[in-house]
Amino acid sequence: MIPVIGLAIGIAAGLLFEPTVPTDLQPYLPIAIVAALDAVIGALRALGERRFNDRVFVVSFISNVVIAAFMVYLGDQLGVGSQLSTGVVVVLGIRIFANAAAIRRRIFHA
Amino acid sequence: MPESRWRSLLRPTFPLVTVAVLLGILGLAIVAQIHEKDNDDYSNVRGDDLVELLKSLDAANERLGTQIDELTTTRNGLLSSTKRSEQAEKQAKLRAEQLAILAGTSGATGPGVEVIIQDPDKDIDASALLDAIEELRDAGAEAIAINGVARVIAQTYFLDEDDEIRVGGREIKRPYVIEAIGDPSVLAGAVRFPGGLIDTITTRGGTATVTKQDKVTITALADVTTPEYARPSS
């Protein structure tokens, strides 16, 4: 319950203060968000399977975001930024879909 | 067991608060990013993408430039053809006006002479009048009318009829007044020279006088007949 409240507060704060993304963070934020979403969906799946561990979630969330941002940074440095970020998004997207499918199977048995 | 598990999620333990904070950051980031996407500038577009964008814009620019060139050429062609047809129309109009004067279907005005033939004894017949007209034509008269009613053109005929003369079907009374448009001095000279119009008329028993005029206006029109048998040969 508390995490949901945290999410709601975050969204409300975003809508309320309309923060601008710092220029340095701009290339990494979209990828970081996708990575974080992957961690969140994974956590939801774990929650459904009753093996949710907050420590695992915190570590996976932070490491996902950091690794994703680092890969984009590295890609930019290597001159393959757009390709690499596309690759990261694809991989994370596949993971999100797989986790979502697992959740769906658990809830709807389908 | 599940009961206590759910309950534990409600207790504000440190890990749960951490999770909540992370989710809060995620929510904030999502909203901020969406908001960022809304303002439509290129500040958050990657350099490579900008280059691609620029390239595609360049290509589009080039394509449109070629299109502009083609359309300009087409427009110029159309303009010049319009001008050409305008010129052709103008020439055709001019030609039609010239032909209208020749055919006697329009009035004419210009310098010329007025020849008055007095014929008290009714000695002047159609052939004498035709001779007089031929004399004027020979001197370059461009438009001729008799008594202001009979326009003399190529088809005009002269006919004697009961002491009167018919010109192109129109009866004309004495005295005969011939108006001719052309070079006044040339026409007058042709009328006056020995053995010319005046001499001929005098020999036949009439009198003729000629006056040069700066402006002769002929309003008499010839009857227009559509050729029934003759067709253009080309």
Predicted confidence (pLDDT) per residue in B52-67, tens digit: 889 999 999 999 999 9
Q: Do B137 and B74 reside in the same domain of the chain? A: no
Within 25-54 of A, beta carbons closer than 8 Å to B belong to 26-27, 29-30, 32-33, 36-37, 40, 43, 50, 54
Using alpha carbons, select from A93, A13, A50, A26 the residue that is nearest to residue B37: A26
Total residues found in chain B within this entry: 234
Does A13 contact B24 at a Cβ distance shorter than 8 Å?
Answer: yes
- Shortest Cα distance from B85 to chain A (angstroms)? 60
Nearest-angstrom CA–CA distance, B18 and A68: 21
Residue B37 has pLDDT above 80, yes or no: no
Percent of chain B clearing pLDDT 90 (strictly above): 27
Q: Is residue B36 part of a domain?
A: no
B20 falls within a domain: no
Q: What is the pLDDT of residue B126?
A: 86
Residues in chain A with CB shorter than 8 Å from the CB of B28 are 10-11, 13-14, 19
Taking the CA of residue B74 and the nearest CA in chain A, the distance in Å comes to 43
pLDDT digits (tens, 9 = 90+) for A65-105: 999 888 888 888 888 877 888 888 999 999 999 999 999 88
From the list B183, B45, B51, the residue with the least C-alpha distance to B112 is: B183
Nearest chain B residue (CA) to A37: B26
- Compute the residue count for chain A: 110
Bin B140: left if φ > 0, else alpha if -120 < ψ < 50, else beta.
Answer: left
Q: Where are the domains of chain A?
A: 23-108
| ipTM of the complex as predicted | 0.81
> How near does any CA of chain A get to the CA of B58, in Å?
21
How far is residue B219's CA from residue B64's CA, in Å, rounded to a whole number? 61
Looking at residue B198, which CATH number applies to its domain? 3.30.70.1880
Within a domain: B55: yes
The letter for the amino acid at A47 is L
**Does residue B26 lie in a domain region?**
no
Number of domains in chain B: 2
Q: Which two tokens stand for residue A1?
A: 């319950």
B124 within some domain: yes
Cα(B149)–Cα(B179) distance, rounded to whole angstroms? 11
Structural domain boundaries, residue B172: 107-218
Whether B19 sits inside 8 A of A33 (CB atoms) is no
By DSSP bridging, strand B150-152 and strand B143-146 are: antiparallel
What would the pLDDT profile of B82-98 be if each residue is shown by its tens digit?
Answer: 999 999 999 999 999 88
Residue type, A28: Y
